[in-house]
Amino acid sequence: MLQYILKRILEMIPILFIVSILIFFFTHLIPGDPARLVAGKDATLDEVNIIRAELGLDKPIWDQYITYMSNLFQGDLGTSLKTGLPVSEMFADRFMPSVYLTFMSMGWALVLGLLIGTLSAVFKNKWPDYLGMVTAVSGISMPGFWLGLILIQIFSVQLGWFPTGGAESWKSYILPSITLGAGIMSMLARFTRSSLLETLRADFIRTGRAKGLKESVVIPKHALRNSLIPVVTIAGLQFGFLLGGSVVVETVFSFPGMGRLLIDSIAFRDYPVIQAELLLFSIEFILVNLIVDIMYSMLNPKIRYVS
Amino acid sequence: MRRVNVWKMLFVAFVSAILLAGCSSEESGGTSEKENSGKSASGKDQELVIAVNENFISMDPHNTGDTNSNSVQTAMLEGLLGSDEEGQIIPQLAEEYSVSDDALEYTFKLRQGVTFHDGEPFNAEAVKTSFERIMKDESLRLNSRGFNLITSIDVIDEYQIKVTLKEPYAGMLTRFVSAKILSPKLINDSSSDIGKTPVGTGPFKFVEWVQGDHLTVERFDDYWNKADRVKKITYKPVPENGSRVAMLKTGEAHVIYPAPVQNLKELESNSDVEIHKIPSTIARYVSINTMKEPYDDVRIRQAINYAVNKEAFISVVNSGYGLPLDSIIPSKTQFYSKQEAYDHNIDKAKELMKEAGFEKGFKAEIWGNTNSDTLKGMQFIQQQLKEIGITVEIKSMEEGTLSDEIYGAQTPEEAKVQMWYVSWSAYPSDTTNATKPLFSSSSFPPDGANTAYYKNDDVDKWITEVNQTPDPDKQAEIYNNIQSTIYKDAPWIFLGVDEILAGSRSNVDGVFISPTGGINVTDANLK
């Protein structure tokens, strides 16, 4: 297993190399001239040209690419065209809040999603199932933007329990994480339910029950564990997306995360920030995929990886 | 039976846990409004929170042009000159100033007894260090305009300094307002920190900036202009309108800017909140490409202006907040002179269309960005021009793409733009910036924002002349000619001037918003 993990990590290097090339050229393909956007509407052509030269945008694209890659190999993510600050410094303030928010949203979405899904499957077509599925459908149907504003209205404006935004204390994370986690929780609940129902119909469960195993053993130990593979896949994918930035929720709650930074940077054609952020998201996705694969084999010992 | 009981118990336990969590958070978090509303303790020991709609870009005053960054910088940094509530120029770190007759020499007598936040003394050498930074550092691209005309900076004595230009520039005084004076120690020893931790002479000093979350400043107790003011100010970027309003209602924010129009009624009915309406220098217009057929005929452009109901524009697009644009510059701009506005007169518009040979109308195209307000504005124009037979097609483009389309044309012949729905904002004291980039024939894209490709030899001559005239009376006369001539030539659909809307808690005192949207907190206090 260790060898397999090492191999996967080594495989990341060429993948990231290709990804970085694609990111660089696609970023430069976005229409819009950063020099013009930096200079403002009233700038003269001379002023725009001075800025273009200073930002290095007047050089051939290959030269720019070589500079970008050589800086990248030295661990330099570049300097923002908009703020003039090193990109790594801009990330430093925003990365951890995004990570905390992701873990918190994912944490409660997983716990509640699994619980509701399991209860719904066990009590199929009874009131806990109906209640669970109504909750799940509501969670999926509510747009994050709307849910966020409703939560602010109820819990911040009316009740005054939580702040309306920011990321200053643990309280600031509650409402955004509920908003962000609602959809994922619902999805996980539905997947858990259908997957568990299928497993409960399997021969080995019938055998277990026939042998006199208690339900409290059959369900968590045998059925649930075997139903988790699709759930883990979905959870992994969602986790990657969440880390990649959830722009809507970050906007509603004025949350200082990576998603908003990306959108601001795209609007301003801030190439170094866009490139660095996309590269970071690619690394995150690759790592999450690796973790998901490892979890498969932990859940089902029949899945073995050979290097 | 037994199986069901286990799960039922689990379910009950789960519901109880949620309810308990809800109750406990009520106990711990229920006091947030009282804590934040700032009513309990005396104002000067308190923290003021200001929520604005965008992130701050940089704290380097010599390298930023956005309103929000400038607002925060103004709390910490000062220039030789400042601006008052109306946006007009007043002395700040200079007690007096004079301009020579040829408009080339600016002499400043500096305020004495001023210190920077790091303890450095403020004097003529400090001013020289800041000005030389703007002139020489090539990376300071935005504020070098005007400063690249400086030929020499002479220190006359410790508190007098003279700046000489190579050619007259009417906007120079405004440049002295925006050229904030930084501590010479910061410039010489750690210039890379200027954008992150600026050091100036202002009423508040820098404390902390967490990118994307907040920026905090603290009262500077050795400030030269002693007065009671709040101890701390925290600025927060809150882009979502609803969230900003919620913050004002809960008392988490004491001032919000801008206040969203759609929430005004709700906020006005709240006794803890005050709404401020400030006439701005933001002009809303549609530039018409005067070099393209049929817009090259002044009768067509005038007909379009007669066809558009400006009052209806303000009530439909700006929700009733704003004033008609009755000159080429807003009324808060220096040297403004009111023109006879094009009234809403469909008959006259049709008559002009007929005279120009377009009785049956024609097809037109209007460009704008993807902002929902812009879209609403363009739809309004589309509906209004339909009345005189002009069928307008709306082309909505993302800002960067639009900028490429507009400024990509190297000559007027290459330009594809017919009509552009846009706005312009200049400092109230800088009439040059409110006219030259928009109406001088030297400012055709890509060399400026004259997207109407407007060319009038008289206007070109006047724009050059006014820039070289130091006498304000003479300037007023020339600007009067410029305004009346261009307004009659109608290179724009003159729409409206925005009213800036801001909200504050009723216990806030001494905070004002300037016509450019800058927030001044010099005398900020909580009652």
pLDDT tens readout for residues A77-103: 888 888 888 899 888 888 888 889 989
The CA–CA distances, whole Å, from B193 to A54, A69, B28, B129, B202 equal 20, 26, 40, 16, 18
- What pLDDT does residue B509 have? 93
What would the two tokens of residue B514 be? 């300037």
pLDDT under 50: residue ranges of chain A: none
Question: Which amino acid appears at position A5 of this protein?
Answer: I
The Cα B302–Cα B487 span in angstroms is 10
Which has the closest alpha carbon to B146: A42, A35, A34? A42
Whether residue B214 and residue A166 make contact (CB cut-off 8 A), yes or no, is: yes
Q: Which residues of B187-198 are buried (b: 16+ CB within 10 A; e: fewer)?
A: beeeeeebbbbb
What would the two tokens of residue B492 be? 């724009």
The Cα B500–Cα A270 span in angstroms is 29
Chain A within 8 Å of B440 (Cβ-Cβ)? no
Which has the closest alpha carbon to B162: B80, B63, B77, B78? B80
The DSSP letter of residue B508 is: E
List, for residues B352-379, the tens digit of each pLDDT value: 999 999 999 999 999 999 888 899 999 9
The CA–CA distances, whole Å, from B168 to A44, A134, A144, B2 equal 18, 73, 56, 94
Question: Which of A42, A128, A269 is facing B400, going by the closest CB pair?
Answer: A269
CA distance, residue B31 to nearest chain A CA (Å): 7
Q: Are A25 and A275 in contact (CB under 8 A)?
A: no
The Cα B173–Cα B429 span in angstroms is 8
- What pLDDT does residue A244 have? 65
Dihedral angle over CA of B369, B370, B375, B381, nearest 10: 20
A116-125, B225-234, B451-460, B491-500: lowest mean pLDDT where?
A116-125
Q: Is the pLDDT of residue B261 over 90?
A: no
Alpha-helical regions (H) of B269-371: 298-307, 310-316, 346-355
For A:285-304, CB contacts with B below 8 A are none
Chain A within 8 Å of B193 (Cβ-Cβ)? no
Q: How far is CA B344 from its chain centroid? A: 29
- What pLDDT does residue B32 have? 39
Chain A within 8 Å of B249 (Cβ-Cβ)? yes
First-to-final CA distance of chain A: 8
Chain A within 8 Å of B395 (Cβ-Cβ)? no
Chain A within 8 Å of B246 (Cβ-Cβ)? yes
The Cα B138–Cα B147 span in angstroms is 12
What would the two tokens of residue A20 be? 């970085």
Whether residue A253 and residue B243 make contact (CB cut-off 8 A), yes or no, is: yes
Whether residue B11 and residue A128 make contact (CB cut-off 8 A), yes or no, is: yes
Sort out which chain A residues have CB atoms less than 8 A from B463's CB and list them: none
DSSP string, B159-172: TEEEEEESS--TTH
Chain B within 8 Å of A63 (Cβ-Cβ)? no
pTM: 0.81
Chain A within 8 Å of B407 (Cβ-Cβ)? yes
DSSP string, B10-33: HHHHHHHHHHHHHHHHHHHHTTHH
Mean of the per-residue pLDDT values of chain B: 88
Sort out which chain B residues have CB atoms less than 8 A from A262's CB and list them: none
Q: Which helix (H) or strand (E) holds A100?
A: helix A87-122
Question: Which of A84, A156, A159 is facing B246, going by the closest CB pair?
Answer: A156
The Cα B199–Cα A95 span in angstroms is 28
Q: Is the pLDDT of residue B201 over 90?
A: yes
How many A×B Cβ pairs under 8 Å?
A: 160
- What pLDDT does residue B8 have? 53
- What pLDDT does residue B42 have? 54
Sort out which chain B residues have CB atoms less than 8 A from A269's CB and list them: 400
The Cα B176–Cα B184 span in angstroms is 17
Chain A within 8 Å of B414 (Cβ-Cβ)? no
Q: Is the pLDDT of residue B6 over 50?
A: no
Antiparallel, parallel or unpaired: β B47-52 and B255-257: parallel
Average pLDDT over residues B442-465: 94
What would the two tokens of residue B430 be? 């800088």
Sort out which chain A residues have CB atoms less than 8 A from B33's CB and list them: 160
The Cα A163–Cα A184 span in angstroms is 23
Dihedral angle over CA of B458, B461, B464, B470, nearest 10: -80
Whether residue B446 and residue A45 make contact (CB cut-off 8 A), yes or no, is: yes
Task: Determine how many CB atoms are found less than 10 A away from the CB of residue A255.
Answer: 28
Chain B within 8 Å of A93 (Cβ-Cβ)? yes
Sort out which chain B residues have CB atoms less than 8 A from A161's CB and list them: 25-26, 29-30, 32
Task: Determine how many CB atoms are found less than 10 A away from the CB of residue B339.
Answer: 17
- What pLDDT does residue A96 have? 87
Q: Which residue of A has its CA nearest to B426?
A: A42
Question: Which amino acid appears at position B391 of this protein?
Answer: T
- What pLDDT does residue B3 have? 45
The Cα B254–Cα B230 span in angstroms is 12
Contacts of A149 (CB under 8 A, 6+ apart): A252, B242, B243
